[in-house]
């Protein structure tokens, strides 16, 4: 029950993290064949199992977040549990954790102790603020990163409040960054035989994706403001309501697309204006551009808007909720949504792996499993006998 031929077949990952950034990074690795062992407390499962909707008591988000993972229960804070982890580490390549700094050290399973067992181990430590600094010991979640990074300050209407996303954006970005960092560290370990520690602060990756705001402030003293759905870099760029009450998004990041859009909506005269020659100067005239685009779109049903934009080779997309995603032919063509057979739910739909590889494409081998489903099998692999397992269970260690 390892990689089943995926590109990461033979890589073993111990996921002892909770909630979203660490576990999702492990999911990304498992999607491409890594043998991911999810370790949870025997009496306090990963809190992610309680987030979002459930069906007949079965959490639905966990089916995606926990996919391709074997689930084990161990009390890592107990000496016997810490010893079990050391035994698992001996044959592992990666460990992902997100306890507050110093917690693993207090339990005797910090990097020093784990590298003594397995010098090539990559240890990814995912926390809100990083391993050092005045905030390192504070509790934190992705919402705080979305606030501190400047994301919330930039999001929302100009006269409205800063806006947080309704999903784990910073956690998801940190998960992608963590999986990338793990692969970089694995490549180094392959070359040197020595593992290392990844210090991933959730406040950092989202900051990188916000672009050049730090450099702009450093060099120009510029502080970017909220612009709603508009952009400071190009126009027209907004969402517009169609004649049948739906919404579409239009983007004109390139000059040629901007020219096609304004010609399509009957305002080719604007293309000849001197200020139309660059995205930045167009953004300064967003009102007139938006008025023209909005009026043209409002007079037509969605299907006509999309068809006319396509004929004009201009960039447009419908604003979907999940129903639109599931009905869209492009998502269907590239296999974005997959149906997985599950012991608890039967056939269940979820997002597919992140990208397609031509030779080793990865895949979903199983959906998220119940708490502790694979404890016996995994511990048997490190020499725990049935009698020892029964004793550990009796004492609440597993």
46 is catalytic: no
Q: Which of 235, 243, 228, 256 is nearest to 306 (CA)?
A: 243
Contact between 264 and 312 (Cβ < 8 Å):
yes
Q: What is the spatial distance between Cα 57 and Cα 278, in angstroms, rounded to a whole number?
A: 55
Query: Phi and psi dihedrals of 37, rounded to 5?
Result: -110, 110
CA dihedral 142, 180, 336, 261 (to 10 degrees): 80
Q: What is the DSSP letter of 125?
A: E
The CB density around residue 298, as the number of other CB atoms within 10 Å, is 12
For the chain, what is the radius of gyration of the CA atoms? Answer: 25
Contact between 153 and 146 (Cβ < 8 Å):
no
Q: Is 107 helix (H, G, I), strand (E, B) or coil?
A: coil
Query: Phi and psi dihedrals of 58, rounded to 5?
Result: -100, 120
Contact between 104 and 110 (Cβ < 8 Å):
yes
Q: Is 171 exposed, middle or buried (0-12, 13-18, 19+ CB in 10 A)?
A: buried
Residue that the structure tokens 């004649």 belong to: 243
Q: What is the spatial distance between Cα 271 and Cα 269, in angstroms, rounded to a whole number?
A: 5
Catalytic residue among 15, 31, 93, 171: 171
Catalytic residues: 171
């Amino acid at each position: 029950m390892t990689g089943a031929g995926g590109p990461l077949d033979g890589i073993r990952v111990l996921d002892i993290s909770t909630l979203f950034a660490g576990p999702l990074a492990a999911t990304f690795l498992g999607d491409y064949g890594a043998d991911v062992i999810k370790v949870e407390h025997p009496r306090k499962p990963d809190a992610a199992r309680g987030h979002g909707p459930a069906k007949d008591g079965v959490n639905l988000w966990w089916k995606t977040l926990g996919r391709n993972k074997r689930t084990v229960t161990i009390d890592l804070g107990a000496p016997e549990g810490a010893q079990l982890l050391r035994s698992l580490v001996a044959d592992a390549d990666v460990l992902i954790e997100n306890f507050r700094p110093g917690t693993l050290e207090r339990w005797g399973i910090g990097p020093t102790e784990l590298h003594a067992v397995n010098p090539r181990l990559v240890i990814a430590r995912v926390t809100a603020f990083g391993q050092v600094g005045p905030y390192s010991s504070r509790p934190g979640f992705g919402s705080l990163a979305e606030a501190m990074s400047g994301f919330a300050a930039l999001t929302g209407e100009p006269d409205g409040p800063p806006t947080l996303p309704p999903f784990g954006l910073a956690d998801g970005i940190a998960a992608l960054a963590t999986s990338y960092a793990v692969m970089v560290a694995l490549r180094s370990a392959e070359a040197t035989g020595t593992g290392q520690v990844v210090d991933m602060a959730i406040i950092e990756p989202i900051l990188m994706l916000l672009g050049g705001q730090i450099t702009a402030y450093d060099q120009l003293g510029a502080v970017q403001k909220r612009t709603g759905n508009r952009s400071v870099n190009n126009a027209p760029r907004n969402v517009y309501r169609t004649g049948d009450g739906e919404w579409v998004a239009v983007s004109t990041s390139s000059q040629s697309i901007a020219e096609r859009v304004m010609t399509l909506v009957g305002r080719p005269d604007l293309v000849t204006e001197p200020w139309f020659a660059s995205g930045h100067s167009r953004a300064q005239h967003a009102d007139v551009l938006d008025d023209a685009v909005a009026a043209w779109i409002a007079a037509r049903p969605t299907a006509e808007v999309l068809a006319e934009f396509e004929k004009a080779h201009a960039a447009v997309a419908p604003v979907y909720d999940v129903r639109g995603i599931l009905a869209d032919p492009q998502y269907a063509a590239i296999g974005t949504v997959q149906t997985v057979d599950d012991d608890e739910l039967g056939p269940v739909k979820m997002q597919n792996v992140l990208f397609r590889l031509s030779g080793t494409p990865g895949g979903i081998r199983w959906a998220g499993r119940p708490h502790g489903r694979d404890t016996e099998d995994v511990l048997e692999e490190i020499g725990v006998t049935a009698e020892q397992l029964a004793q550990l269970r009796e004492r609440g260690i597993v």
